[in-house]
Structure 1
Amino acid sequence: MTDQEIVALYWARDEQAIARTAERFGAYCRKIAMNLLGSARDAEECENDTWLAAWNSMPQNRPQRLAPYLGRITRNLALDLRDRRSAAKRGGGQAEAVLEELSDCLPAAGHVAREVESAETARAVSAFLRELPEEARNIFLRRYWYCDATADIARRYRVSESKVRVTLHRTRQKLKVYLEKEGVVL
């Protein structure tokens, strides 16, 4: 089924929407959750919560592309679940490493105008990513959006792990300079 056909099922409140979504996007959402949570049981719970959230949000939304829509829902749910369950004690996943890597080039969490700056920072990061060469952008997104391990990224793009690490390091440095130039307080 196409994305539009699945969305139409949601809008018609047809329960087949969930089954079709799970068939088409289950592995994708499970991978995102697993990378963040490090637990198959938690990833499965997050995946199921994604279907419920999609069911509840579809009457107000009509996404053109389901993968990024569902990926964002899954990622947010996984981060919330990770916070609630103290994932570091349970084996973690890639989330702690990813957050540590980005700590030098993103604003501190306790800044006074955090909400406004978060939106501005998000727009600046998006603009920065659009300027990157495709390979560097893909590597950056796989690491910092999907929380893939560097070994998985290397296999996916058929490059060495060393190249992935160097690309990430250089991209983080460029991001820091870009954000400072844009006036984002780090």
Structure 2
Amino acid sequence: MKLLLVGLGNIGPEYVHTRHNIGFLVVDHLAVQQKVAFQASRLAAISSFIHHGYQVYMIKPTTYMNNSGKSVRYWLDYLKIPVEQSLTIVDDITLPFGTMRLRTKGADGGHNGLKSIAHALASNHYPRLRIGIGNDFPKGKLSDFVLKNFNEKELQKIDDHLHKACQILITWCNKGIVHAMNQFN
């Protein structure tokens, strides 16, 4: 059986440690744990590992956040993976920093990456791990907030949050989303 982990973010050195790139940071952290590396490919950087008999693929779309759906649709089709066997990792301003929620489906909540995926899949019925980045920004400054680096206080905790996110991903791989939701939500 094949699984697909989709870390959302933006490519380019100026975005590496921004809040909007938490999806990239999580799959990068998991790649280090699994001792694998990402390789440039069509519409994404891709990596894979075997876990308990599952072939687990990870992608980081290179289409920028607003066009993530193009990459996700391509890799689901190319790898012949049903959408239910994918999990998208995404930043969420409605959750406090470090809070994580698994969902089997949901609205995009104004998130352009999720909006793009829903458009490409013609459905909002796809699993996602929402990772809270907080919402400590003045009205009208959302874009500035998500595209800035984590602050000092957040940086002190980020490794713990990345480790927890990876635990959630491995539990999802092992036992599915319902079990992972019951354990971590």
> By the TM > 0.5 criterion, same fold?
no
Whichever structure has more strand as a proportion of its residues is 2
Give 1 or 2: higher helix fraction. 1
Structure with more contact order per residue of length (Cα contacts < 8 Å, sep ≥ 6): 2
TM-score of the two chains, using structure 1 as the length reference: 0.30
